[in-house]
Amino acid sequence: MCGIIGCSGRSDETLDVLLSGLEGLEYRGYDSAGVALSNGTLSVCKREGEIHRLQQAVDGDLGGPVGIGHTRWSTHGPPSDANAHPHTDCSGGVAVVHNGIVENYADLRAELTDRGHEFDSDTDTEVVPHLVEEELADGATFEEAFRAAVTRLEGSYALAAVAEDSAAILATRHDSPLVVGVGDDAAYLASDVPAFLDYTDRVVYLEDDEFARLETGSWTVTDADGGLIDKSVSRVEWDAEETAKSGYDHYMLKEIHEQPRALRKCLRGRVDERTGSVAVEALEGLNPGSVQFVACGTSYHAALFGAQTLREAGVPAQAFLASEYATSPAPVTDDTLVVGITQSGETADTLSALREAQHRGVETLAMTNVVGSTAARECDRTLTIRAGPEIGVAATKTFSSQVVACNLLSAAVAERGDAREVVEALRDLPGQVQKILDSSRAERVAEEYVDSEAYFFVGRGHHHPVALEGALKLKEISYEHAEGFPAGELKHGPLALVTAETPVFAVATGSGEKATKTVGNVKEVEARDAPVVAVTDGASDVGRYADVVLEIPETHARVAPVLANVQLQLVAYYIAKKLGRSIDKPRNLAKSVTVE
């Protein structure tokens, strides 16, 4: 949600760096964009809408040694030029960009208004430059004024500021990510690495309440009291090519097709096919008495899968929506493990849930895609899913990698008699995903059902999370009504919604009891004239009662959900494409949700 970019040291290239950085942050979701550059005077340009409108509006002479930019996703006030960032003070001498929410902004705004300040926007952010302005008027330096203003704020924030008479960018964070990019002759600042990956792969992650100062070709990090902090510089494993579309129409389609490679990376060095064992350094010595997963959205569906997998192995496990857990945590014991599944490692609700668990004294594990993320740094242990950069807002390859990582976690902490079979199935998984990508009939299914009134997805056991994820993916990018259910719940209410205009996607693999019962549920919807799309390995006779079959290879029951999900990802993609939707940047959605 929202994006920040900053650059110092590129002189007449600063504007180009800012604009390309904003393009690199488009995947986070936004409704307006803007830039501010300092060169003795402060120049600001911002526009509602997509970045190309900002690019058309900027003055070609806009330049300076330092600058900041922002993509906004509305929280306070509707999308407009006035509400776009950066925001300035009364004199136009200070500009600020902000991710997060200033919870006490109404009180601060009233206080500042009483002292004669005039506001141009509806945003909470605008109080910050006015607070800085007051401190400057009292004789403070720019850095002193910025620090003093920050002490007045309550809530979450990643802040960056420039001033007309300063050659520095000042920045700080609290519960919202910021990272410094270290170049050979320049320094960069961003809310996420892709913003400056074209220029450097060396990064410094800021912790809460640390302050960064970026000047021409140099950077420093200090604590809240101004003390210098010796920060280590990390190297990002991604390269700029990984964040490009590489010939695909959309990032989402590219990332769906990257799943075989992502799964190989997730498994590499972690499974031993000879012994059928799993060896993950981050999980060594882990022996929880119970496990609680906390997650949001797609990651929550992976958590549901992980919890069921552990329960089947005899380990008590539950999955919780992180936003609920943070305010109503479940009971824990000394040997409880709380696992936070978060693609970005910056999801505010999940971080709050993990911090609540830490406050209660239990061990925490971050399952994330980003090595240096807040979750990875704060948790006791980190299991990285190694999916590589995911730019499309709708998660695809990260979900598949999360499901595989949950299998690794289950194998590492619980004794299972089928361990060798699971490891063999995981070994074959990337090739089986590739087979689906090469032969899927999903595009033809999309053509057949693109004009339906609604879409329903059902599955049992490990396929219940797949049904939920299939529905979520379709509604995210097509804006069509879609719901997922445990297959057995259809007759307890949702069946009232089933008509000839509502296709039902039924996931059934294997030939056991779950598949047999799912076939019975398919017959129920068939009797209501609803078209049925079966996602199946052909082991049951569900295909006999389906209008269309999307085939997947036979595999272990704990691995099949990944294969079924790939088919449903493709269905969602092609329906959205045929409807002409904005697939990579769905309306109202953001890739990384950093506010609660």
Known catalytic residue at 2: yes
Residue 375 confidence (pLDDT): 93
User: Interhelix angle for 127-137 vs 105-114, to 10°?
Assistant: 50
Q: Judge whether 397 and 255 are in contact, CB under 8 Å.
A: yes
Residue 596 confidence (pLDDT): 56
Q: What is the pLDDT of residues 406-457, one digit of tens each?
A: 999 999 988 777 888 999 999 999 999 999 999 999 999 999 999 999 999 9
424: which residues sit within 8 A by CB, 6+ positions away?
273, 276, 556
Helix, strand, coil tally for the chain in percent (to 5): 40, 20, 40
CATH fold of 440-584 reads Rossmann fold (3.40.50)
pLDDT bin (cut points 50, 70, 90) of residue 87 is very high
Question: Alpha helix locations (H) across 167-258?
Answer: 251-257
Superfamily of domain 3-242: Aminohydrolase, N-terminal nucleophile (Ntn) domain (3.60.20.10)
Q: What is the pLDDT of residues 137-188, one digit of tens each?
A: 999 999 999 999 999 999 889 999 999 989 999 999 998 889 999 998 899 9
Rounded to whole angstroms, the Cα distance separating 94 from 68 reads 12
Judge if the upstream peptide bond of residue 288 is cis by omega within 30 degrees of 0.
no
Known catalytic residue at 591: yes
Q: Where are the domains of the chain?
A: 3-242, 246-436, 440-584
Question: Could you say which of 46, 231, 475, 591 is catalytic?
Answer: 591
* Mean residue pLDDT across the chain: 91
Q: What is the pLDDT of residues 385-413, one digit of tens each?
A: 999 888 888 999 999 999 999 999 999 98
Distance, CA of 511 to chain centre: 36
Distance, CA of 372 to chain centre: 14
Concatenate the DSSP letters of all residues of 533-549 into one string. EEEE-SSSSGGGG-SEE
Q: What is the pLDDT of residues 482-540, one digit of tens each?
A: 999 998 888 888 888 888 899 999 999 998 898 888 888 888 888 788 999 999 999 99
List strand residue ranges (DSSP E) for 194-269, in order: 202-205, 211-215, 218-222, 234-235
Residue 372 confidence (pLDDT): 81
Q: Judge whether 346 and 177 are in contact, CB under 8 Å.
A: yes
pLDDT bin (cut points 50, 70, 90) of residue 82 is very high
The fraction of the chain above a pLDDT of 70, given in percent, is 97
User: Which of these ranges, 57-61, 124-128, 460-464, 549-553, has the smallest mean pLDDT?
Assistant: 57-61
Question: Alpha helix locations (H) across 58-174?
Answer: 105-114, 127-137, 142-151
Question: Could you say which of 2, 45, 266, 379 is catalytic?
Answer: 2
List the beta bridge partners of residue 161.
Answer: 96, 170
Distance, CA of 179 to chain centre: 16
The fraction of the chain above a pLDDT of 90, given in percent, is 70
Question: Alpha helix locations (H) across 72-181?
Answer: 105-114, 127-137, 142-151
Residue 593 confidence (pLDDT): 64
Rounded to whole angstroms, the Cα distance separating 526 from 506 reads 11
User: Which of these ranges, 90-99, 231-240, 353-362, has the smallest mean pLDDT?
Assistant: 231-240
Cα→Cα distances 173→23, 211, 232, 403, Å: 22, 7, 18, 32
Query: Which amino acid type is present at position 141?
Result: T
**Region label for 319, one of left (φ > 0), alpha (ψ between -120 and 50) or beta (otherwise):** beta
Rounded to whole angstroms, the Cα distance separating 241 from 268 reads 22
Q: Return the residue matching tokens 């949702």.
A: 494
Provide φ and ψ at 50, rounded to 5°.
-80, 165
Query: Which amino acid type is present at position 244?
Result: A
Rounded to whole angstroms, the Cα distance separating 571 from 26 reads 24
Residue 397 confidence (pLDDT): 96
Instruction: Please give the average per-residue pLDDT across 462-491, as a whole number.
Output: 94
Rounded to whole angstroms, the Cα distance separating 352 from 293 reads 13
Q: Return the residue matching tokens 């809310």.
A: 191
> CATH top-level class for 246-436?
alpha beta
Q: Per-residue pLDDT for 590 more than 80?
A: no
Strands of the sheet with 87-88, listed across from one edge: 87-88, 94-102, 155-163, 169-174, 211-215, 218-222
Q: What is the pLDDT of residues 273-282, one digit of tens each?
A: 777 788 899 9
Q: Per-residue pLDDT for 62 more than 90?
A: no
Residue 591 confidence (pLDDT): 61
Rounded to whole angstroms, the Cα distance separating 19 from 54 reads 9
Rounded to whole angstroms, the Cα distance separating 160 from 532 reads 52
Concatenate the DSSP letters of all residues of 267-292 into one string. HTTTEETTTTEE--GGGTT---SEEE
Query: How, if at all, do strands 94-102 and 87-88 pair?
Result: antiparallel
Domains 3-242 and 440-584 share a fold: no
Quote the DSSP letter at residue 414. S
Rounded to whole angstroms, the Cα distance separating 278 from 404 reads 12
Distance, CA of 405 to chain centre: 17
Rg (CA), the chain: 25
